Structure 1
Amino acid sequence: MEVSSFSTCCRSLQQSPSEALLLKRTWFPKWDQVHLFPVKRAFRPLVGQVGRLTWKQDHSQVLNCQLKEVPVIEAGSMDEIYDTLAERLVPIATAESNPNFKYIIGLCGPPGAGKSTVASEIASRVNKLWPQRSSCLDSQVESPEVAIVLPMDGFHLYRHQLDAMKDPEEAHARRGSPWTFDPERLLRCLTNLRNEGSVYVPSFDHGVGDPVEDDIFVSLQHKVVIVEGNYLLLEEEIWRDVSSILDEKWFIDVDIEKAMQRVLRRHVSTGKPPDVAKWRIDYNDRPNAELIIKSKKKADLIIKSVDF
């Protein structure tokens, strides 16, 4: 196992009050106790980690003419990555005493990246680890979940909203593009969650093809919220405001051809003929994926995808 050291992004010494607040909310010294947080000294060996798990730096991104170093995590299996990221998040849930506290992570990636699987696996592992780390739990009482997944799919526009557009046929054909979502509503939900500590959010019924209202409840007991979706890192209009409310932004890096093969299999498994599935990918999924991959430069952490 190899772990490299890396430094944080360059920041101005003169910070505005809002920047200072962001730093106060984002940086958790306890993360260093599991040796997975970027610090200025070299890492000690990761506790309890085996295999080919490595941390790297992505030096290819330049922002405002300054080099931005982004940690990259990769391993021989996704299970190793799930375990590592869960270990990284558990100290946050155990350290905060504020009942309204939420640590909101945006998990982004193109179609076929495996966002839903990654989010649910990490949340599940956090919930299993937390009772072992929390000193406030009674061993006789079943521990509540502290991590939950909030899927962006619930913020699709309804089919009747697509029907009301200028070109309904095009709107349905391009469903899944940024303009077929309701980012304003997503922003309101995340803002309410941040301010009030709990919120009801919609899920998405793939059988019906529409959101299901108030199907997910993010409660006060949830400390880690993983928001997973395609466009969380876009810089355009309201998406920029959605991105700014996230404490951390993770991006699943996957070869676009591999991702499109996964999407093709998914389309065919839902009953689409292969030629229709391929047309759908060329007309909608691939253009969306190319746009999403461009947003990778906004990520705080890059996860290298491994075949499941």
Structure 2
Amino acid sequence: MELSLSLSYSRGGTCPSPYQLNLLLHGAKQHISWQYTPYLFSPIRKPTKFSWQQKWHLGIRHSCQKVVSYNKQGIPILEARSIEEIYDDLGERVLSITRTMNHFDKKYIVGLAGPPGAGKSTLAAEVVQRLNFISYNKDAIAVVLPMDGFHLYRSQLDAMEDPEEAHARRGAPWTFNPDLLLKCLCSLRSQGWVYAPSFDHGVGDPVENDIYIGPLHKIVIVEGNYLFLDEGVWKDVCSIFDEKWFIDINLDASMQRVLKRHIATGKEPDVAKWRIDYNDRPNAELILKSKHKADLIIKSVNFQS
């Protein structure tokens, strides 16, 4: 027997995510085993009344407050009270789509873009974690492919006409290798698996063949700054994605995050400020212009929310 159940609000508190609920139900004193799929809780044993700290009970309607509106271009905008709810909703969104796919061997490739400091890496990792946790398979079904691994090597920057400028502007579109990224994504489409480079921040260079995406990885989230640029090879990269997500964040807020990141990695505050003004902010302004290419705009939420 299957029951379609969701959560209803009982005595205040924050709506537990499906990820949290799965952990909660498997650890409950009633020893009820539940299997989670989006909007579907299927009891393997006969359920008994269940509550958690007298805050939540199983009901009929879902009460988590997420809002989908549309901008002037008709692109849906996802907003929520907390970043956790956004992670949950995106995981449910992808999983519900992939379960309707006709071809078992097909990859569902999501492009995730946004300016520096928007939270792309964190969001991609959190969504993938949820997808892998709630999948039926013991093997991972989802994986992240960061664009960082497609940086040009420092030796390639050294060989440019103005090496000093090249290093100062590292992180700009022309300091990446979009041809290699396109080749990687095309191989993933055609053969179902690929070895991709990662990026060693300690060394400051890519590491070849460090990320393996295999046949069992049905969902691939590619995250990076320039995935939706409407120029050169980047336009071909953008055409690969089944779905395109863009994290929309206030530019000053994102630059504050980047400033803290620079200082945390050892840069003096004045050097960090100069790098933002000279490189990070111009890059972010360019990235924001590509927002119109997105299929879904995700409103940034403070990570502490």
Q: TM-score, normalised by structure 1?
A: 0.77
In 1, the alpha carbon distance for the partners of 2:172 and 2:84 equals 30
Residue number among 80, 84, 91 corresponding to 2:89 in the alignment: 84
In 2, the alpha carbon distance for the partners of 1:49 and 1:186 equals 40
1:156 counterpart letter in structure 2: H
1:55 lines up with 2:68 in the alignment: yes
Q: How far off is 1:151 after superposition?
A: 0.2
User: Which residue number in structure 1 is paired with residue 171 of structure 2?
Assistant: 176
User: Which residue number in structure 1 is paired with residue 79 of structure 2?
Assistant: 74
Q: How far off is 1:94 after superposition?
A: 3.8
Residue number among 260, 266, 269 corresponding to 1:265 in the alignment: 260
User: Which residue number in structure 1 is paired with residue 125 of structure 2?
Assistant: 120
SS in 1 for 2:207: strand
* Overall identity of the aligned pairs, in %: 62
In 1, the alpha carbon distance for the partners of 2:150 and 2:61 equals 38
1:249 lines up with 2:254 in the alignment: no
Q: How far off is 1:232 after superposition?
A: 0.4
Residue number among 92, 100, 109 corresponding to 2:105 in the alignment: 100
Contact 1:94 1:130 in 2 (8 A): no
Deviations 1:33-63 (A, max 9, x none): 969xxxxxxxxxxx8743331111112x3xx
In 1, the alpha carbon distance for the partners of 2:105 and 2:185 equals 13
In 2, the alpha carbon distance for the partners of 1:123 and 1:209 equals 26
* Superposition misfits of 4+ residues, deviation over 6 angstroms: none
SS in 1 for 2:255: helix
1:191 counterpart letter in structure 2: C
1:223 lines up with 2:228 in the alignment: no
**Unmatched tracts of structure 2, length 5 or more:** 1-37, 41-59
Q: How far off is 1:296 after superposition?
A: 0.3
1:152 lines up with 2:147 in the alignment: yes
In 2, the alpha carbon distance for the partners of 1:100 and 1:162 equals 39
Contact 1:99 1:197 in 2 (8 A): no
In 2, the alpha carbon distance for the partners of 1:100 and 1:194 equals 10
1:51 counterpart letter in structure 2: C
User: Which residue number in structure 1 is paired with residue 191 of structure 2?
Assistant: 196
User: Which residue number in structure 2 is paired with residue 277 of structure 1?
Assistant: 272
Q: How far off is 1:130 after superposition?
A: 1.5
In 2, the alpha carbon distance for the partners of 1:184 and 1:244 equals 14
User: Which residue number in structure 1 is paired with residue 287 of structure 2?
Assistant: 292
Larger Rg: 2
User: Which residue number in structure 2 is paired with residue 129 of structure 1?
Assistant: 134
Against the structure 1 CA distance between its residues 281 and 99, is the aligned structure 2 distance closer, same or farther, given a 3 Å change threshold?
same
Q: How far off is 1:93 after superposition?
A: 4.1
Contact 1:100 1:196 in 2 (8 A): no
In 1, the alpha carbon distance for the partners of 2:106 and 2:238 equals 18
**Unmatched tracts of structure 1, length 5 or more:** 1-32, 36-46, 62-68, 132-136, 138-142
In 1, the alpha carbon distance for the partners of 2:61 and 2:115 equals 31
Contact 1:99 1:220 in 2 (8 A): no
1:84 counterpart letter in structure 2: D
In 2, the alpha carbon distance for the partners of 1:104 and 1:290 equals 25
SS in 2 for 1:175: coil
SS in 2 for 1:279: helix
Deviations 1:141-170 (A, max 9, x none): xx1100100000000000000000000000
Q: TM-score, normalised by structure 2?
A: 0.78
Deviations 1:263-308 (A, max 9, x none): 0000000000000000000000000000000000110000000010
1:109 lines up with 2:114 in the alignment: yes
